Structure 1
Amino acid sequence: MQNKVAVVTGGASGIGRAVAEKLVSLGCKVVIADFNSQSGNATATQIGANFIQADLSDAEQCRSLIAQAAQLHGSVDILINNAGFQHISPIEEFPVEQWNKLIGVMLTAPFLLIRYAWPMMKQKGWGRVINIASVHAMVASPFKAGYISAKHGVIGLTKTAALEGGEFGITVNAICPAYVRTPLVENQIADQARTRGIPEDQVVTDVMLKNAAIKKLIEPEEVADLVAFLASNQASSITGSSLTIDSGWTAQ
């Protein structure tokens, strides 16, 4: 992957940062995109990447992100759609604006970013799109209607893009992790405790790890290692797949 150009959304922290750092270590020219400019700039400086601030709920900023990355490095070869957030509340209390924002950032933005990067990948006859979905792209949990709907949609987008990209050397896959030790997950603990009416220390054991055979949070580096494999030439025949890192959650 030496000198391949990779765009990683939500790259300032958590899974995105681990993925960006891994790809830099493999010789990629990495562009981190994130809404948070302070942490995004800091991460880019620390790992040797470029940073572009972007609000992915804005279609024009999605277009501009890909255009700026191509201007920096000549093309976009690898696209990692990782950016996301959650809102936790019962359906009857779920704010419509939060629904629209979740769908915009986590489903519409991946579609747009793929659309804008696609011509460059087709021209080269090589491309990798890796969508960071979730175990919640395959199963549901209460109080996460927007997040789960968006992630289920990402699987459909992944499959469709894989079918269209095959003849051009473009592979498109999704990774579906269970709970990963990230700031996003840590911030959920208080929300889950409040919504479910249980102590915070019960959230990890009784909610996050309840369905897992391996009773531990997943580390971001584990996801980054799978991203690196899917982005490599060794994975050139894997496309349209949804690969789980879920500690056995969906084995039930």
Structure 2
Amino acid sequence: MSCAKCQNPLVLEVDYSDDEDVSMGAGSSSAAAAQNTQTVPDDVALNCGCHFHWQCLIDEYQVTECPSCHQNLLTPGPNGGQQLLCTLHNEGGVQENLDILPILTEEAYLHAYPEDRISRAFLELCREGDVSAVVDLLKSCNEPDSDDEEMDDEPAIPKKSMDEILRYQDPIGDMQSGLHAAVAGNSREVAWLLLLLASQLPEMEFPALVYQQAASLGIMREDQTGKVDIRSLRDGQGRSAEQLAVELGGVWHGWPGSGRLTV
């Protein structure tokens, strides 16, 4: 059986040479490469009966139909939405009835809008509550491109400013902002940081520890005049971050109504 796109066998050659410290003469290079290369399964079996390598499917995916036979791949999901089920056979084994629609939707979106990759990474860090990583990502917006990136044959991906990333809303993630993501992830530290950097919440409302932590990480509040207050952003369901906090409760007890999450 072969891939419907490239017609090659449904396997992937994996080179493990980087994992070993092998010192051999030039005459043994071919033998060493053969010893360090293993063949593993790489088969995505769709419900239409077509098979693809994972990367071949990513490259050709058209959201609703099979790239080969053009049959509709979507089926009703258990929660009223849609799903795209497949049988995935790879190095980790066989997974049946696996819904790959979220992954394919994200990959298709990022293929069309590669400049949003860093913004979506920012949202994930906000959701995880990784304050240091959030700061490092934001600070990287002001760093010049590396020489390697400038010499790349591929077109340069436009960089986004820190303000653009701070106020980014995810089109394929219910239009959540970083503040929504922090609230959903129960991360008050990230929420304080985002309020400091992208809201007009009066400085007197911030605990001194918030400013101390921001200073220690090398990032400070800029003038917010004329900028969108992150607290005013609403997700795909029309909810502000405060309304989401009310729904979730827990660590957000005492925040709703305080002005911290609402303009």
Interval containing the TM-score (normalised by the shorter chain): under 0.3
TM-score of the pair, normalised by structure 1: 0.24
TM-score of the pair, normalised by structure 2: 0.23
Identify which of structures 1 and 2 has the higher relative contact order when contacts are C-alpha pairs closer than 8 Å and 6+ apart: 1
For the pair shown, the structure with the greater C-alpha radius of gyration is 2
- Between Structure 1 and Structure 2, which shows a larger proportion of helix residues? 1
